[in-house]
Structure 1
Amino acid sequence: MARKSSQTRSSRRTLPEEPVVIPVLTVDRAAALEVYDTTLRDGAQAEDVSFSAEDKVRVAQKLDELGVHYIEGGWPGANPKDIEFFRIMKTIPLKHASVIAFGSTRKASNSVQKDQNLQALLAAETKTITLFGKTWSLHVTDALGISLAKNLELIGDSIAHLKSKGRRVFYDAEHFFDGYKTNPEYALNTIRKAVEAGAERVILCDTNGGAMPWEIRAICEVVRQEITVPLGIHAHNDCEMAVANSLVAIETGIIQVQGTINGIGERCGNANLCSIIPNLELKMRRPALGDRLSHLKDVSGFVTEIANLMPNKHQPYVGDSAFAHKGGVHIHAVLKNALTYEHVDPTRVGNRQRVLVSDYAGRSGLLDKIEAYGIKLSKDHAKVQELMDTLKARENEGYQFEGAEGSFELLMRKAMGTHKPAFQLLGFRVIVEKKQEDGAPLSEATVMIKVGGVVEHTAAVGAGPVNALDHALRKALEKFYPQLQEVKLLDYKVRVLAANKGTESKVRVLIESGDHKDKWGTVGVSENIIEATWQALADSIEYKLLAKP
């Protein structure tokens, strides 16, 4: 039987007969929005994130495919990696985006001609430079240690110098909202000075991420009356308000929104463009990416992978769980009409509907899952109830199939009597030996399997018992199934179940495996961690070897 995608069949998506009329926001919808991505600069400052110059180039190309308008590449005066990025990007044509260099106003002790930061920004040779300066009087006096008047001078002549060299300048008003709440007239004076010096955009920054939406709204409305150039918003997420604050700012007439893919950034992160962009397009009906919104999930996953982070499956719009349904009532309804439990069509953002396999799913959900693998059964077929009983019994034992659909497909095919095992286990042994107190232990695994009428007996060592067992199994099978050389173990998780039993507790092992075109999860449960691992490893191999059309 051919394997099919775990995506469920298309659900009807129909509106109610008499839709509720929601008042339209009073916004100039003719004003073009600008999406400004700062993943490569602000996002790179997140804990556990480190991009190489080559990583940054690859992400920039992906962002250009998505259709963002501006890509903030980094701070060329801060580190050699960013200098290298800007050097490489000079040779790479982009279709939609402009690359921007980021840096600060000159130091108080330097002239504009001798300031190394300004020189590095010019050397990056980008058409546009984003310059940040101090807006909050606290930062001027306590961080820079200069007078308020001197700070205005730094802002003005730094921008004027870059303009004299033929650059467009966007001005980031750092800590603007905190500065405005402390000393509104001085905060306004700093951005007036920036506009007077030639800044083409003024970006209002909630740098500490502490502002509330009602504060953002009120202050943005004041600034719009004072400043003639287009405005932007740059919000951080320390109060979980960055997305809301960005949308409220746009609601007041601000045209440029800054953020990062997946919201990565300093401390709690930046405004998440993966939420902001679909909210703009699908909720506020403000076009931002044209027809490229469906690339959003792909870009989200790409950045997660390059940043070497664990994906957030519960992330709105682009997370794997964003359109996943587990409860029986939910599944029953969503299969009739997806609008019952989905606020947008997942394909609009490149995502998909998923029906999760669990003892909560009910008969409708299980039938839909079975059909996804090309098997047609009636609702009253005996095999459906048999499989449901098996599923519930397994989950009662501690198995979880939500993240292990490879094991579920095998379980289903065994219940249907359509699965022919690729190999038979005759036995395995795992030895962990430690000879010296300060020495590393040695792990060795021996596996005996049977393929057809041939018995294969192999041994392998590894970095731990799990790695050794994985190596031994592959070594035994690869001569029969060379395609297993493509398979990589991508993730390995162990969860202790019923921990009140101490070291006798059951454990659940979840393994994610993949090849050059697919990924799948498998699960094993036992009081013995090696046995649980074997179950998951064996399922992983069996899934790879399922017959294809």
Structure 2
Amino acid sequence: MNEKIKLLDTTLRDGEQTAGVVFANEEKVFIAKMLDELGVDQIEAGIPVMGDDEKEVIKKIVKSNLKASIMGWNRAVIKDIQASIDCGVDAVAISISTSDIHITHKLNSTREKVLEQMVQATEFAKSNGLYISVNAEDASRTDEDFLITFFKAAKEAGANRIRFCDTVGTLDPVTTYNKIKLLKETVAIDIEMHTHNDLGMATANAIAGAMAGATYLGATVNGLGERAGNASLEEVILSLKHAMHLDNFDYNIEKMKDLCAYVSKASNREIPPWKAVIGERIFYHESGIHADGAIKNPLTYEIIKPEELGLERKILIGKHSGSAAIKNKLSAVNIHLDDCTAYRLLEKVRNTAISLKRTLTDKELLGLYEETLLEGNLLKEA
């Protein structure tokens, strides 16, 4: 694919809807600036109709002279959109449910009324010169024919794109691809993927949507969001580069580590050390075969350079280590082992790691090396 895939970040809206998360206003402004430095194309800055405090921070973001488009999120209600207009945003998301379960039990409405409400809100936004994303909430559980009708009505009313929402994270990548491909072939309008992670497939579904023709991908920093969260911005970006191999990739990934760390602190949600793309330990190797390969040529087990992400490669010594890793580790302090000594030291390393239930520190490894030498000398004397 050579078509530009654009990123919509909703950390400040859907990310803040994570249960228990609240960003301070200055944190929201700073996050928006960091997202802009990363190269995100559009920032969903919040929900203006929530009140004056929300409006004020969105206005500050708008006045920050960012390169990114600034979007306000709205229900399909005129007063919501007017609140967004008051903030000076250049784009609006107009959201309404499209699945029968939502229409019946959440909205107490009908398909016809949903269409009418969406069209009225879209036409109002269009008359005010705004870029419009019409959001089909719970699109993944929506009747196919009705969803196509909804897409067509939104386009006719003036929508620039449709946000396909897998609101409850129920999709798989194959189903996602087929659904988006059908919609793209049926209605000529830009599609944005908005995927949730309830089954652990949010990023995969976002990328599947892009492969099927979606041109916008929605995501949040660190995968924040309702329940199990949204597609992770950092995972989506690296997937565009290393899985889809886009020719026009222009995101500043060296900015990601600081952004993710800042959002982690602001949201009080720690980043697991094994987290894809940004986990502190994702370039740590212990297993003998893997460590040996990584020492000889990192490409054997790494598709990304650690320094590209501001991380570092480490060879850990523990139960699963091989002699090559031990030799490499000690050579760094000018200790060069012969095969026999390395074999005897490896046995000590494994036994010690099992008894401690962890990898060894450099000092512990040196201690075991000295023990091995001493035992060797005693054997020679005997």
TM-score of Structure 1 vs Structure 2, range by shorter chain: 0.7 to 0.9
Aligned mates of 2:354, 2:145 — CA distance in 1 = 65
For residue 130 of structure 2, what is the aligned residue in structure 1?
A: 167
- For 2:380, the equivalent position in structure 1 comes to none
1:126 paired residue number: 89
Unaligned runs of 5+ in 2: 371-382
- The answer to whether structure 1 residue 280 and structure 2 residue 240 are counterparts is yes
Larger radius of gyration: 1
After superposition, what is the alpha-carbon deviation per residue over 1:112-164, rounded to whole angstroms, capped at 9, x for unaligned?
A: 3xx3x222221221111111122223322332222322221110111111121
Contact 1:133 1:174 in 2 (8 A): yes
Shift of 1:328: 1.7
> Aligned partner of 1:376: which letter?
N
CA distance in 1, matches of 2:189, 2:251: 28
Residue 51 of structure 1, CA deviation: 1.4
Contact 1:57 1:85 survives alignment (8 Å): yes
Matches within 5 A, 1:260-275: 260-275=220-235
- Offset at residue 323 of structure 1 (A): 2.0
Distance 1:369 1:140, change over 3 A: same
Task: Tell me, in whole angstroms, the C-alpha distance in 2 between the residues paired with 1:134 and 1:288.
Answer: 34
TM-score (structure 1 length as normaliser):
0.62
SS in 1 for 2:218: strand
2:335 corresponds to 1:377: yes
Deviation at 1:317, TM superposition (A): 2.3
User: Does the residue aligned with 2:49 lie in a helix, a strand or coil?
Assistant: coil
Contact 2:194 2:219 (8 Å CA) reproduced: yes
Contact 2:135 2:165 in 1 (8 A): yes
Helix, strand or coil at the partner of 1:86:
helix
Higher fraction of strand? 1
Match of 1:74 among 46, 57, 79: 46
Q: Deviations over 1:10-33 (max 9, x none)?
A: xxxxxxxxxxxxxxxxxxx23111
Measured against aligned partners, the alpha-carbon deviations of 1:219-247 in whole angstroms (never above 9, x if no partner) come to: 21221122222111111111222122111
Identity of aligned pairs, percent? Answer: 26
Answer yes or no: is 1:105 the counterpart of 2:63: no
Distance 1:83 1:291 in 2: 29
- TM-superposed CA distance for 1:270, in Å, is 0.7
2:8 counterpart (30, 36, 48): 36
Superposed displacement of residue 86, structure 1:
0.7
Query: In structure 2, which of residues 22, 25, 29 is the aligned counterpart of residue 57 of structure 1?
Result: 29
Structure 1 contact 103–130 (Cα < 8 Å) conserved: yes
Q: CA deviation at 1:288?
A: 6.4
Q: Which has the higher helix share?
A: 2
Q: 1:334 to 1:205 in 2, by over 3 A?
A: same
**Given that residues 281 and 288 in structure 1 are in contact (C-alpha distance below 8 angstroms), is that contact kept between their aligned partners in structure 2?**
no
Distance 1:343 1:354 in 2: 16
State how far apart, in whole Å, the 1-side matches of 2:310 and 2:324 are: 25
SS at match of 1:131: strand
Relative distance call for 1:234 and 1:133 in structure 2 (3 A) is same
Supply the distance in 1 between the matched residues of 2:166 and 2:105 (Cα, whole angstroms): 19
Q: Is this contact kept in 2: 1:326–1:355, CA < 8 A?
A: yes
Secondary structure, counterpart of 1:77 in structure 2: helix
Is residue 2:327 matched to residue 1:356? no
Q: Which residue of 2 aligns with 1:395?
A: 353
**Displacement, 1:263?**
1.3
Q: Which residue among 257, 267, 270 is the counterpart of 1:310?
A: 270
In 1, Cα distance between the equivalents of 2:75 and 2:274? 36
Aligned 1:114-153 pairs, distance under 5 A: 115=79, 117-153=80-116
Opposite residue 99 of structure 2, the aligned amino acid is: W
Instruction: Note the C-alpha offset of 1:279.
Output: 1.3
Taking only aligned residues, the RMSD between alpha carbons, in angstroms, comes to 2.7
Partner of 1:301 in structure 2? 261
For structure 1, the residue ranges without an aligned partner over 5 or more in a row are: 1-28, 107-111, 403-407, 418-549
Paired residues, number: 370
Shift in Å, 1:251: 0.8
Alpha-carbon distance, 1:178 to partner: 0.7
Could you tell me whether the CA contact under 8 Å between 1:132 and 1:171 is conserved in 2?
A: yes
The residue type paired with residue 52 of structure 1 is: A
Q: Say yes or no: does 1:332 pair with 2:332.
A: no
Aligned partner of 1:531 in structure 2 is: none
Question: Which of 166, 172, 176 pairs up with 2:139?
Answer: 176
Q: Which residue of 2 aligns with 1:467?
A: none
Larger RCO (CA within 8 A; separation ≥ 6) = 2
Give the AA of the match of 2:323.
Answer: R
- Aligned twin of 2:213: 253
**Worse-superposed segment, 245-254 or 386-395:** 386-395
2:40 touches 2:251 (CA, 8 Å); kept in 1? no
Partners of 2:250 and 2:50 in 1: CA distance: 34
TM-score w.r.t. length of structure 2: 0.87
Which residue number corresponds to residue 450 of structure 1?
A: none
Contact 1:64 1:97 in 2 (8 A): yes
Name the aligned partner's letter for residue 141 of structure 1: T
Could you say if the C-alpha distance between residues 78 and 291 of structure 1 is closer, same or farther in structure 2, counting changes exceeding 3 Å?
Answer: closer
Tell me how far apart the structure 2 counterparts of residues 393 and 220 of structure 1 sit (CA, whole Å).
54
CA distance, structure 2, for counterparts of residue 97 and residue 288 of structure 1: 17
**Distance in 2 of aligned mates of 1:176 and 1:359:** 48
Q: SS of the residue aligned with 1:335?
A: helix
Deviation at 1:389, TM superposition (A): 7.4
| C-alpha contact (below 8 Å) 1:370/1:376 kept by paired residues | yes
Deviation at 1:414, TM superposition (A): 7.3
Aligned pair partner of 1:226 in 186, 210, 230:
186
